[in-house]
Structure 1
């Protein structure tokens, strides 16, 4: 059996089987599952699978009634190969075994699951958190295209500056810019789909924003321009379309629904978009760009320290995806996002902390093996393997990793404040992988040098903070021991032995 299919087959029964899966998606590193009943998930067995680097439980129940996203960290590359195999297994199981009639045991389990779900919803599912997760679900599917087009744009800029291959430069520009010119349509499509509307109607309304003909429209003495409002306008327009569509379907006779509902949805939402949302979203987008530039220009060091220090907790909670609309807005306006290089310093702090853990625990073969396998991904900006496999289970090293990220962020923010402003032309990559995407106001060599110095600062401070402050004497005594002859089972979560578990602080 193919190893990716084998991984999917191992995961499926541990999340409650195909009947418990309501949705399947993935981002750069995580398999994101919608589940009906969390009680059916074998959390510890999942973490013990060799291919699983960690899990993130998002227990807030959304309006659909499922358990929200249960995120299984598989790592870059692997998750993109395992996800289609997992989807295929779910489809095959559904086709082969139709849902059986409910049994008393099943009804009892459903009742217990509903009670647990209600309790978790009251505790964890705040409206703000649910909204952020839904916004993330809109933009996560767009990341592969953002990465690919961003890298091509960077290559095109390099060829242009060097004066090489002039014949191919226009072609690369078209390839890199095509997606970004229509990103509003994709955002509208995904927004309607996420909020329960007809996806294509959301895309149709959002397409108004990028239609060149809006330049002929004047409202309130102001002229519209194509793309005004950007992805924020597209998101708002599609969300409005969802509510208009639902309102129409509740009131429209069935015989007229197929004709009038889509017509009224596009017409009403389109008019509000043209004569309201595009202006408002345009002002909001402009304010985001102005705020980001002023924040770094006037308080760069402090802003970088806060952003770099808090980003790892956001990654841990999966909420970092909520920043994608802000990054995308900045890229639309300025050609790059100035925030991403600062946030990337969090990964540098994590790498430095992991190297310190490696040296401080010379006799813990399990943790050292995890660090050796996860460091390459860490250098490329993928932090989940080190977070869930090393620093978070240990406790203190997670905090000292954040200190390293804060130091690197402060360095990059300070240089920005001194006039060396730069950013990333795309989102997704981080760490060393961000070098090809960097673009700034100064020479490229200077931009690359500042970013590299920021990474080195994050590595160094994360290492030193963890080496000297990342462990108590009790932790070192408990963790820094040679393994017993009886080895732990394959896939045992890093940082554990059959005798003891890492002591969190």
Structure 2
């Protein structure tokens, strides 16, 4: 089937996915993040997993509180609106039909069980944190790349008339990020978004420099995104309290006024100081950790990041990254965590060489490896290493080695950071910034990637398969001759 224009291609992908997730009436919500199409479904049993994974644009699927289809960066942002449009068209076409109600009744027990498994308080909290910060990532990436370009031009002494403009473009969003965090927080917690943004704006207002709190003069931006998050949550609670007690005839005047006034006073005379102390502690703690235990810290962070991603616990790091970027201009944690992807790439290369007769898996690796090199790891995780088991562990070993390499240089005074969150792998190079020159920073990061590739490859090649696994996975398909070049050397059990 010809896809024609890119728009037709994206619509064709959406059209291929929709019937495989149970059709329009089975979809309750549509959203997307950097790489995944996230669907709320009435009846999970209607999803055809195997057929969905066979769709060319689909890199893998993940089931959590939502059903997540991995499409990759760029693609998902184009497919999602097409998918949403098809869902709306499907619902309009079937208006009045009882299909949705029937599906809802049949899937009620399944949905309840799924929510019970995933709705732990901690996981729900982390999902809310992700919902607040993930929408900010495109702006962080764009401004981060512009900041890196500006820094390069300044160091080279090029275009001095242009660099102030680039600095303004790159810094404008970060100067007001607290407002966006407040807006998204209020929206996520069920309040009026603009009121959350209004209260959070107090934190970055220059006039707070005239206010004394806790014996010290406040400074604009004190408390950063953590203060903005706390201020917006407080505003939501005040607003909900007002809705219960304020007469409807006065609600439009009284509720917004009390929400901003009460929340604003607490923010100025409490939250900004407390959040400022916490933010300072995060920055100091991260620097101390890498200055004194860099190699070990890098080994632990790089080695355990893939399991954290599998459990969804990596979302807890988003506010920490953002706080470090606010304070220091870059986050020193992301380049170390990115080494987990390098271990994954090395692991996939070893699997490709080991399983010369498994053409299906080799085809998956060939299609997913370029994305993995650029930092999109889901296709390799869910399509290769995780289903195989042991290679997932050896991929983690590669990440640990790469993380230890980058962490070691942090101990030696050569910190490597990223001016934004989101990308990793080779896609992180435009965002790199550190305590030394750009050349040194890029060289250390590249060295960490190479170490991750090498250790992930060697660990997987040597220890990634038992004899039984290798024999079963490498057996030629019926009617297919074995590859004469398949090595017959023993494999560690």
* Normalised TM-score (structure 1): 0.90
Residues 48-87 of structure 1: pairs in structure 2 closer than 5 A: 48-58=54-64, 68-87=65-84
Q: Is the 8 A contact 2:416 2:444 kept in 1?
A: no
Deviation of 1:282 (Å): 0.7
CA distance in 2, matches of 1:21, 1:208: 40
Task: Report the secondary structure of 2:320's partner residue.
Answer: helix
CA distance in 2, matches of 1:159, 1:473: 55
Q: List runs of 5+ in structure 1 lacking aligned partners.
A: 59-67, 487-504
Aligned to 1:490: none
Aligned to 1:62: none
Change (3 A) 1:318 1:85: farther
Aligned to 2:214: 220
Residues 15-94 of structure 1: pairs in structure 2 closer than 5 A: 15-58=21-64, 68-94=65-91
Residues 94-243 of structure 1: pairs in structure 2 closer than 5 A: 94-98=91-95, 100=97, 106=101, 110-243=104-237
Deviations 1:305-338 (A, max 9, x none): 1100111122334443332211110000001100
Task: Report the secondary structure of 1:420's partner residue.
Answer: coil
Aligned to 2:413: 419
Deviation of 1:412 (Å): 0.9
CA distance in 2, matches of 1:93, 1:198: 31
CA distance in 2, matches of 1:344, 1:287: 24
Deviations 1:5-60 (A, max 9, x none): 111122223323333333322222111223344344333332232221111111xx
Q: Please tell me whether residue 9 in structure 1 is matched to residue 15 in structure 2.
A: yes
Instruction: Tell me which moved more, 396-405 or 319-328.
Output: 319-328
Deviation of 1:485 (Å): 5.4
CA distance in 2, matches of 1:14, 1:260: 50
* Normalised TM-score (structure 2): 0.92
Instruction: Tell me which moved more, 349-358 or 372-381.
Output: 372-381
Aligned to 1:498: none
Question: Which of the residues 439, 442, 445 maps onto 2:439?
Answer: 445
Aligned to 1:65: none
Question: Which of the residues 361, 366, 379 maps onto 2:355?
Answer: 361
Aligned to 1:332: 326
Task: Report the secondary structure of 1:429's partner residue.
Answer: coil
Residues 323-402 of structure 1: pairs in structure 2 closer than 5 A: 323-402=317-396
Deviation of 1:176 (Å): 0.4
Residues 244-283 of structure 1: pairs in structure 2 closer than 5 A: 244-283=238-277
Q: Is the 8 A contact 2:347 2:460 kept in 1?
A: yes
CA distance in 2, matches of 1:176, 1:53: 33
CA distance in 2, matches of 1:409, 1:186: 32
CA distance in 1, matches of 2:19, 2:275: 45
Q: Is the 8 A contact 2:59 2:368 kept in 1?
A: no
CA distance in 1, matches of 2:12, 2:301: 39
CA distance in 2, matches of 1:171, 1:347: 35
CA distance in 1, matches of 2:107, 2:476: 42
Instruction: Tell me which moved more, 156-165 or 427-436.
Output: 427-436
Change (3 A) 1:17 1:245: farther
Moved over 4 A (4+): 99-103
* RMSD (CA atoms): 1.9
CA distance in 2, matches of 1:155, 1:22: 42
CA distance in 1, matches of 2:86, 2:170: 35
Q: Is the 8 A contact 1:56 1:317 kept in 2?
A: no
Question: Which of the residues 447, 464, 472 maps onto 1:470?
Answer: 464
Q: Is the 8 A contact 1:140 1:321 kept in 2?
A: no
Deviations 1:103-151 (A, max 9, x none): 9xx46x5455333333333333210011001111111111111101000
Q: Is the 8 A contact 2:42 2:108 kept in 1?
A: no
Q: List runs of 5+ in structure 2 lacking aligned partners.
A: 481-492
Instruction: Tell me which moved more, 415-424 or 120-129.
Output: 120-129
CA distance in 1, matches of 2:220, 2:297: 33
Q: Is the 8 A contact 1:159 1:165 kept in 2?
A: yes
CA distance in 2, matches of 1:245, 1:351: 49
Aligned to 1:305: 299
CA distance in 2, matches of 1:190, 1:4: 28
CA distance in 1, matches of 2:25, 2:304: 38
CA distance in 1, matches of 2:111, 2:156: 59
CA distance in 2, matches of 1:214, 1:25: 37
CA distance in 2, matches of 1:178, 1:98: 46
Q: Is the 8 A contact 2:182 2:197 kept in 1?
A: yes
Change (3 A) 1:474 1:341: same
Task: Report the secondary structure of 1:31's partner residue.
Answer: strand
Aligned to 1:64: none
CA distance in 2, matches of 1:295, 1:34: 40
Change (3 A) 1:35 1:209: farther
Aligned length: 475
CA distance in 2, matches of 1:434, 1:156: 16
